[in-house]
Amino acid sequence: MFTSLRELYKKAENDDTAIGAFNTNDLEVTQAIVSAAEKTGLPAIIQTTPSAIEYAGLRELFDIVKDLIDESKIPMLIHLDHAKKIDLIAKCLEMGYRSVMFDGSDLLYENNVSETKKVVDLAHKYGACVEAEVGVVGRGEEGREKILAKYSDPDQAADFVKLTGVDSLAVSVGNIHGAPENEKLDIELLKKIRGLVSVPLVLHGASGVTRPDIAAAIKNGIRKINIDTQLRHAFKESIEKHINDSGKDIRNFLSDAKDDVESVVMKDLKLFNGVR
């Protein structure tokens, strides 16, 4: 059942939970996400990045996700993740996306504001939600010192939301892309941001965050949590485990990998919604 992100955010805020947002590149991972949502009865967001679209094709990937969502009774939607080019965002909105992220975090702050505002003005004409980012969610290979320098500033985050009119905000509070070891959230910083920012907050780079930190983040305003690396690892490890089994063909390999991805998504959906 294709739903509105605004409705999911409203419910998450009322329930003090977070929406699980999972990246896909193909049919099997999409099937795994939808199946996990159906088995848990919990809503989910299915995300596609620009690189996933380049790999699979915009219409092809959109149709796979949209068809599977439409066939399900669980509220779900498709989201464009980490788009840096407005022309791609425009194509996705025209295709039927009703949730997009413009990632201007690499730009100077003033340019991030102006470009994000352009995306907001465009997307809101379609009734779509816009997510943006203040600060930079780092990558594990950058090292701790560089990542610390990119944490979100609470006052700047509040100013950014006011100037752009975004519907949600991705923040950098110790979350790191790539699931590195010893990933630790700065919950006190998150509290300060939450105290100044009224829109839902989003946690990228959450694959390596501990369960206690996830719970604390949700308690302090995180309403959408992105998961990608966990799914990639589950899929790859499943293929590697069975690849030398001469009794299986490619459909068996993919089916096993799909089941392992589904297990990861189910576990995360329950965690984000406080379900045991």
Q: Where are the beta strands (DSSP E) in the chain?
A: 19-23, 44-48, 76-83, 99-102, 129-134, 168-171, 201-203, 222-227
Q: How far apart are CA 142 and CA 94, in angstroms?
A: 36
Centre a 10 Å sphere on the Cβ of residue 138 and count the other Cβ atoms it contains.
23
Helix, strand, or coil here: 133? strand
Q: In this structure, are residues 109 and 157 in contact, taking their beta carbons and an 8 Å threshold? A: no
Place 182 in a pLDDT band, splitting at 50, 70 and 90.
low
Out of 26, 67, 70, 81, pick the active-site residue: 81
CATH of domain 5-272: 3.20.20.70
Is residue 81 flagged as an active site residue? Answer: yes
What is the rounded distance in angstroms from the CA atom of residue 35 to the CA atom of residue 107? 38
Altogether, the residues listed in the chain come to a count of 276
- Taken in order 249, 253, 256, 261, the sign of the CA dihedral is negative
Question: In the prediction, which pLDDT does 141 show?
Answer: 41
Mean pLDDT confidence for 76-104: 98
Q: What is the pLDDT of residues 227-274, one digit of tens each?
A: 999 999 999 999 998 888 777 888 999 999 999 999 999 999 999 999
- pTM of the predicted model, to two decimals? 0.94
Task: Report how far apart the first and last C-alpha atoms of the chain are (Å, whole number).
Answer: 25
According to DSSP, the residues that pair with 22 across neighbouring strands are 46, 227
Structure tokens, 64: 């796979």
* pLDDT, tens only, 129-147: 999 999 877 554 444 444 4
**Domain range list for the chain:** 5-272
Percent of the chain whose predicted confidence (pLDDT) is above 90: 83
User: In 175-257, where do the E strands start and end?
Assistant: 201-203, 222-227
Q: Can you tell me the mean pLDDT for 15-41?
A: 98
